[in-house]
Each structure stands twice: as structure tokens, then as C-alpha cells.
Copies of this chain bind each other. A is one copy, B any other.
């Protein structure tokens, strides 16, 4: 029943949409009044409603006087639809609990500021660390203007990857290869050098037991040495 309890649920909802909101961040929202959950929501896909919209729609008229828990500061920019900040104000929400501040220059405190101006109490910092961890790729991109990169490296004891005549076997374990496919599923793109394409002829697709999202495949090949027969070019995503 404490604020962390509801924020943890909002984080869980946010996490449920992992790998499906890019380039947007993962966000969850929970609407609560008198210890009773009135609405829950998560942002599920770019260009579809934000988490707050789902949670407030579910709460309906009961949102008047209620608390709203959001894992990321509500947006403040009005586009095709009203901003979440406006929606929260017009829904009669009394208190807003925010886990992490949106570093996006178009928000970055503006959402919270507008809520306060409207007389809404705003409590920040609830489970902030978990919330920032959840969106580390998004935060990194906004802060540094660069993609968040995961490097996959393999090594052998003697530094060799194949025998003299090019024979080679998997260096990594089955668990590590499952990890790789999970990483492909959770990343927007995968980048290799043409040498990898020439020697390993990889698909670079996601092959998990129950499917998964394929990353965009980037092949650094400045002299266009990739032959047509490579798997990379033979498999459509």
C-alpha cells in the first residue's frame, strides 16, 4: 500500500512492453484512490497512446481526486493528441508520483512544472534507480545523442578463432548463444563487419524458441564485397 508498491507495479507494466516501444521509452502508469487500483496502463508502441492515457481511460470519472503513479515524467508537448500533462490535469488527479525525470529536452521537468502550476502535488524519486535502469538505452540516446551499444566479444585462451586451414567451431556455450538471440530481440540493430559476413555467413536474425523481433542488420562493407549469395541478403525479415 505504500508508494513503492504501486510504483513497482507501474514498472512491471512498463517492463512488459520491452522491445516493442522503440524509439520511445518504456513507461507504465497506475491510477489509485483510497488504496484501490482504478486503472493500469503501459506504453505499448510508438505512435499509440501513452501509459497515462490507458490508465486514466480505465479509471474513467473515478480519477477525480486520485493518485497517479508514472515511471517517467509525463510529456508536456501537445501534438496530434493532448499532452499527458494536460490529460492528468483535466482528469482531476490530485497527486502524481514520478519515478524518473524525462531527460528529453522537450520535457525535462516541464511536465512536472505544469502539474505543479495546476496545483497538483508531485512526488519524485520513487524507485528512480530502477526506472532509469529500465530505460538506459533511451536515456543514453537522449543525453548523448548516440545509440546505446552492447558489444558481444568472444575470446579463446590462445587468442585463435580457427585452425590454420580455417576450420572453426563455436567458441561460446549454448547459454551464451541463447543470450545472443535475446540481445538481438531487444536491440534495434545489429552491426557486423564484412569480414564476418564473408567468413561466417550469418543470418543475424533472432531465433528464440518462441520467436522474437529481428534487428535491423548493418553490414560495414565499404568496398561492396558482399556476394549476393550471403544469408544476410537471402533472408527477408
Contacts and interface: CB of A to CB of B under 8 A. Distances in A.
Interface stretch (A30-38, A76-84, A161-169): A30-38
Contacts of A9: 12, 16
A211 B20 contact: no
For chain A, give the interface size range: 20 to 34
Contact of A40 (B34, B40, B213): B40
Contacts of A19: 35
Contacts of A36: 20, 44-45, 213
Contacts of A58: 41, 44, 54
Interface of A: 1-3, 9, 12-13, 16-17, 19-20, 30, 34-42, 44-45, 54, 58, 185, 208-213
B40 A208 contact: no
A202 to B, nearest CB: 21
